Amino acid sequence: MNSFDSYLHDVLMRAHQEARDDGSPTIEVQHLLLAVAAEPEPTVRPLLASAGLDQDAVRRALEQEFVQSLSAVGVASNAYDLPRPSRLPSKPAMGTSTKLALDRGFSSVTRKKDLRPAHLLLGILAAQAGIVPRALAIAGVDQEDLAARVHQALTEQE
């Protein structure tokens, strides 16, 4: 396994855990972002930190996005103080939003051996709609600017 493959493997393991903790049968892109924000890696985490993001900040923003989205249709998320459901024992499947982020990250290189951890973040940041862009906006992050800086960091690495 090269270093990108082992990074991807570790991130997916973390994302898998996030999905299970969330009671989700699928790994969605928000679980992938939480995993990327926690995975020790010398380029990706500093880039996120430069935008004020660590895993806690991402988690808070995601929770706030959930609350806000429900309240837009008049539902209070604290209407039910639900007990934590038992976690799924099986491996969550890859969700559509995760597949899309991976495809976008991978398609930014022509040769697979050129893939770097930051390409994964770039794939996540390419999202045009959905939970991730909304949570980033809530966290006060300029998604386009962050993507541009990730791109820049990748160019400098070459």
Partner 1 sequence: MTESDLPKDPADALAAVVALRRLADRLENAAVEQAMRAGWGWPKVAEALGITRQAVYKKHAQRLIAAGVKLRRREG
* Residues 119 to 138 in contact with partner 1, rule: CB under 8 A: 129-131, 134
Nearest to 124 by CA among 17, 7, 30, 57: 30
82 binds partner 1 (CB under 8 A): yes
64 binds partner 1 (CB under 8 A): no
72 binds partner 1 (CB under 8 A): yes
Which run of H or E residues covers position 121?
A: helix 117-125
Helix count (H) and strand count (E) of the chain?
8, 2
Distance CA 134, CA 116 (A): 26
Distance CA 25, CA 35 (A): 16
Question: How many Cβ atoms sit within 10 Å of the Cβ of residue 55?
Answer: 18
110 binds partner 1 (CB under 8 A): no
Q: How far is the CB of 98 from partner 1 (least distance, A)?
A: 15
65 binds partner 1 (CB under 8 A): yes
Q: How far is the CB of 127 from partner 1 (least distance, A)?
A: 12
Angle formed at CA 90 by CA 59 and CA 132, multiple of 5 degrees: 25
- What is the per-residue binding string for partner 1 in 26-45, x denoting contact by CB under 8 A? --------------------
Chain residues that interact with partner 1, rule: CB under 8 A: 23-24, 65-66, 69-70, 72-73, 75, 77, 80, 82-83, 85-90, 129-131, 134
